[in-house]
Chains A and B, each alone.
Chain A
Amino acid sequence: MLDYIAYRVAVLIPTLLAVSLAVFLVLHLVPGDPARNAAGPDAAEEDIELIREQFGLDQPLWRQYGIYLGNIVRGDLGESFRTRRPVLDEIVRRMPATLELAGFAMLFAVVVGVALGVVASMRPNSAIDSAVNGLSALGISAPVFFLGLLLMLLFSARLQWLPPSGRGTMAHLVLPTITLGLPYVATFARVARSTMLDVLSEDYIRTARAKGLVWRRVVWRHALINAAVPLVTLLGVYFGRLLGGAVIVETIFAWPGLGRLMVDGIIQRDINLVQGCILFFATAIVLVNLVVDLLYSVLDPRIARG
């Protein structure tokens, strides 16, 4: 098991290397002058030149990438062009907000989604099943941006139950969590329903019933664990998308997280900052997938890793 973890962590390195190269190339090859942007609109030509030198933007591209990589290895993501503070500090400062939002949204999606899916599967084609089906169709098709604004209008502007923006209390967390999580509630509900229907037709479910277990226990104990592996896979797949959604949601609700940091960075052509953010997101996604893989062997005794 430990060997396997070591192996998986080692595999992380080429993955992240590829990500860093791709991000580096995209950011340096798009038109626009980062140095000019950082210096501000009224800056003199000499100042811009100075910034260019300071950040190594005058070097050939391959050289810049080499330096950048060397710095990353030493844990240095460079300085923000704009604030001149280490990018790593900026990321660490904003990270808790994003992790909080993404974590709660995922939890919301999994708990509510799976519960709805399981309840629907217990009585296929019943009224409950149709209701869950309709809800999840809505949830999947509603654009995040629209959903966020709608919720904000209703619960903040009109009913004034919840704050429209910012971070601080649990109340602040409610709307962003729902906005970010709702499409995934729908996805989890659908997959949970269909996976459960498959599992419920297995022979061992009939055995469980023949033992005298009531339907509730059969469903929640014998079936759900078997449906868990595909659901956990989904968790890995959707975590990345959810982080992507967080960028939009943080912008709508002025949530002070990494997503907004990155959007600001993009607008200001703050290459180092954007690179840092994307590397962070990539690392987080890869790590979550690693955890998901390890979860398999816990959930399914047939997947044993020596």
Chain B
Amino acid sequence: MSDGAPVLAVEGLRTSFGAVRAVDGVSFSVRRGETLCIVGESGSGKSATALSIMGLIPRAAGKVVDGTVRLAGRGDLRRLDDTSMAEVRGRDIGMVFQEPMSALNPVFRIGSQIGEPLRVHRGLSRREAHERAVELLAMVGVPSPAQRALDYPHQLSGGMRQRAVIAMAIACEPALILADEPTTALDVTIQAQILALFEDLQDRLGVAMVFITHDLRVVAEIADQVCVMYAGVVVEQGAARDVLRNPLHPYTQGLLGCVPRAGAGGTSRRLNAIPGTVPSLAALPQGCRFRSRCPHAFARCAEEEPPLLHQGGDGRAFRCWLTEAAA
């Protein structure tokens, strides 16, 4: 399924909002046709990671301070000037956001918003862009796309709006789709539909996808690779199948303990069911960031932060002293 050089390779990414080190040395890569899930509790730095890749960290609030973001054929995005970066956005990377209700501009028609990247990047005329927008709406499963294209955002349901945002993200056939919790704000039934749409689109378009979620069921369903983030760092990463079946980090183990087994019935609990809270990113404790919540913490965990330890050759890695001690 995955082959060749990575479409996106992030190395040592660090992003700070003042004293808050929201992303503190994150590395991963994703290849064509592959889905990488970034999973973690709220506040672990997932959105900051996505926005750093896009160069959309608000200037007044924070900045990317270190690392490289290599996109196939474009080099390190951090080295691009504003104009070149604008060319990359929407054309090489399509982004889908969490809040479909507020992600669309209320004063423009759906069709014109979907067609806009085509006009800007491909130089399509207003008419051509509109026609293409209708096709894209059909492609993402919006019924009566010709009429919907003429609607304003407030006339559409949340699920339909999210489909419109997805249509906008894939308009220029980007090599990479970046989706930041695109189903979190939706009803459960709609969530399943949107997730199915992402899977379907990826099959058809063969893009690389970075899919951010805090829902492990989503990971189980769509991920090829997974990065588990905690307090700004990746605590465990590797092939989704391996990580889900055999989690090495106590945090991942905790998360998985919270997901009911298939067929067990009942509502699923979310990630935050691990007791305790994420430490303040502005004043991180010495040693392991997960220490205050870790059932296995021992003396060394308070002294030194564990490095990301690689295991095997397939990108499997984790950040814990315990497993090293056991190994």
Interface residues on chain B, number (Cβ under 8 Å): 32
Q: How many angstroms from the CA of A214 to the CA of B168 in the assembled complex?
A: 17
Which residue of chain B is the closest to A125 with respect to CB atoms? B60
Q: Which of B58, B83, B88, B154 contacts A214 (CB 8 A)?
A: B83
A3 to chain B, nearest CB (A): 22
A208 CB-CB contact with B under 8 Å:
yes
Please tell me if B103 contacts chain A, counting CB pairs below 8 Å. Answer: yes
Are the CB atoms of B106 and A300 closer together than 8 Å?
yes
Beyond A204-B102, A204-B103, A207-B103, whether A212 also contacts B97 by CB under 8 A is no
Shortest distance between the CB of A19 and any CB in chain B (Å): 35
A299 in the interface, Cβ–Cβ < 8 Å?
A: yes
Q: Which residue of A is nearest B104, CB measured?
A: A204
A123 to chain B, nearest CB (A): 9
* Interface status of A166 (Cβ within 8 A of chain B): no
Given A211-B117, A212-B120, A203 and B99 contact (CB-CB distance below 8 Å): yes
Q: How far is the CA of A212 from the CA of B122 in the complex (A)?
A: 11
Q: A207 near B121 (CB under 8 angstroms)?
A: no
**Chain A, range 192-213, C-beta contacts under 8 Å to B:** 201-204, 206-213
Q: Which residues of A contact B116 (CB under 8 A)?
A: 208, 211, 213
* Secondary structure dominating the interface of A: helix
Whether the pair A207, B165 counts as a contact (CB closer than 8 A) is: yes
Indicate whether A226 sits within 8 Å of B168 (C-beta atoms), given known contacts A210-B54, A213-B120. no
Smallest beta-carbon distance A214→chain B, Å: 5
CA distance A43 to B120 in the complex (A): 79
CB-based nearest B residue for A225: B107
A211 in contact with B168 (CB, 8 Å): yes
Tell me, yes or no, whether A301 is within 8 Å of chain B by CB: yes
Cα A300 to Cα B88 in complex, Å, equals 31
Compute how far the CA of A302 lies from the CA of B109 in the bound complex, rounded to whole angstroms.
12
A301 to B152 alpha-carbon distance, docked (Å): 7
Interface string of A98-138 (1 = CB under 8 A from B): 00000000000000000000000000110000000000000
Taking CB atoms, residues of chain A closer than 8 Å to B165 are 207
What 0/1 pattern do residues 291 to 306 of A give for CB contact below 8 A with B?
0000000011110000
Least CB separation from B89: chain A residue: A212
What residues on B are CB-neighbors of A202 within 8 Å?
A: 102
Tell me, rounded to whole Å, the shortest Cβ–Cβ distance linking B214 to chain A.
19
Report the minimal beta-carbon distance from B99 to chain A, rounded to whole angstroms: 6
Please determine whether A215 and B82 come into contact, CB atoms closer than 8 angstroms.
yes
- Shortest CB-to-CB span from B212 to chain A, Å, is 14
- Closest chain B residue, CB of each to CB of A301: B152
Q: Contacts A124-B60, A203-B99, A209-B56 known; A222 to B154 CB distance under 8 Å? A: no
Q: In the bound complex, what is the Cα–Cα distance between A250 and B8 (angstroms)? A: 67
- The answer, yes or no, to whether B284 is at the interface (CB within 8 Å) is no
Residue B323 interfacial (CB < 8 Å): no
Are B97 and A300 interface neighbours, CB within 8 A?
Answer: no
Question: Are the C-beta atoms of B103 and A211 separated by less than 8 Å?
Answer: no
Contact A301 B103 (CB under 8 A): no
Q: Which residues of B contact A300 (CB under 8 A)?
A: 106-107
Is B90 part of the binding interface, using a Cβ–Cβ cutoff of 8 Å?
Answer: yes
Asked whether, in the complex, the Cβ of A212 is within 8 Å of the Cβ of B54, the reply is: no
Question: Closest chain B residue to A201 by CB distance?
Answer: B58
User: Distance in Å from the Cβ of B168 to the closest Cβ of chain A?
Assistant: 7
Contacts of A204 in B (CB 8 A): 102-106
C-alpha spacing A208/B121, complex, angstroms: 13
* Chain A positions within 8 Å of B95 at CB level: 207, 210
A226 to B108, CA, bound (A): 10
CB distance from B10 to the nearest CB of A (A): 17
Cβ A299 vs Cβ B120 within 8 A: no
Q: Give the Cβ gap from B84 to chain A, nearest Cβ, in Å.
A: 11
Interface string of B177-211 (1 = CB under 8 A from A): 00000000000000000000000000000000000
Are the CB atoms of B103 and A212 closer together than 8 Å?
Answer: no
The answer for the CA separation of A299 and B103 in the assembled complex, in Å, is: 19
* Contact assessment for B83 and A212 in the assembled complex, using a CB-CB cutoff below 8 Å: no
Residues of B within 8 A of A124 (CB): 60
Residues in A with CB closer than 8 Å to B102 are 202-204
Task: Find out whether the CB atom of A207 lies under 8 angstroms from the CB atom of B97.
Answer: yes
| A214 and B82 form a contact (CB under 8 A) | yes
Q: How far is the CA of A209 from the CA of B83 in the complex (A)?
A: 12
Q: A124-B60, A202-B102 are contacts. A212–B121 as well, Cβ < 8 Å?
A: yes
Residue among A202, A204, A210 with the highest chain B CB neighbour number at 10 A: A210
Residue B249 CB within 8 A of the other chain: no
| Residue in chain A with minimal CB distance to B155 | A301
Compute how far the CA of A214 lies from the CA of B90 in the bound complex, rounded to whole angstroms: 11
The interface residues of chain A lying within 8 Å CB-to-CB of B5 are none
Q: Does B91 contact A (CB under 8 A)?
A: yes
Considering the chains assembled together, what is the distance between the CA atoms of A72 and B34 in angstroms?
Answer: 79
Whether A206 contacts B56 by the Cβ 8 Å rule is yes
Tell me the bound Cα distance from A202 to B108 in angstroms: 15
Query: Chain B: which residue is nearest A204 at the CB level?
Result: B105
Q: Is the CB of A226 within 8 A of B106?
A: yes
Residues of the B chain whose Cβ atoms lie less than 8 Å from the Cβ of A125: 60
Q: Is the CB of A301 within 8 A of B82?
A: no
A290 to B165, CA, bound (A): 36
Q: Nearest Cβ in chain A — how far from B30, in angstroms? A: 18
9 contacts between A and B (CB under 8 A): A204-B106, A206-B56, A207-B104, A209-B56, A209-B89, A210-B54, A211-B117, A214-B86, A225-B107
Binding site for A on B (CB under 8 A): 54, 56, 58, 60, 82-83, 86-91, 94-95, 97, 99, 102-108, 116-117, 120-121, 152, 154, 165, 168-169
The 7 A-B residue pairs with the shortest CB-CB distance in the complex, in nearest-first order: A212-B90, A203-B102, A211-B90, A212-B89, A210-B95, A301-B152, A204-B105
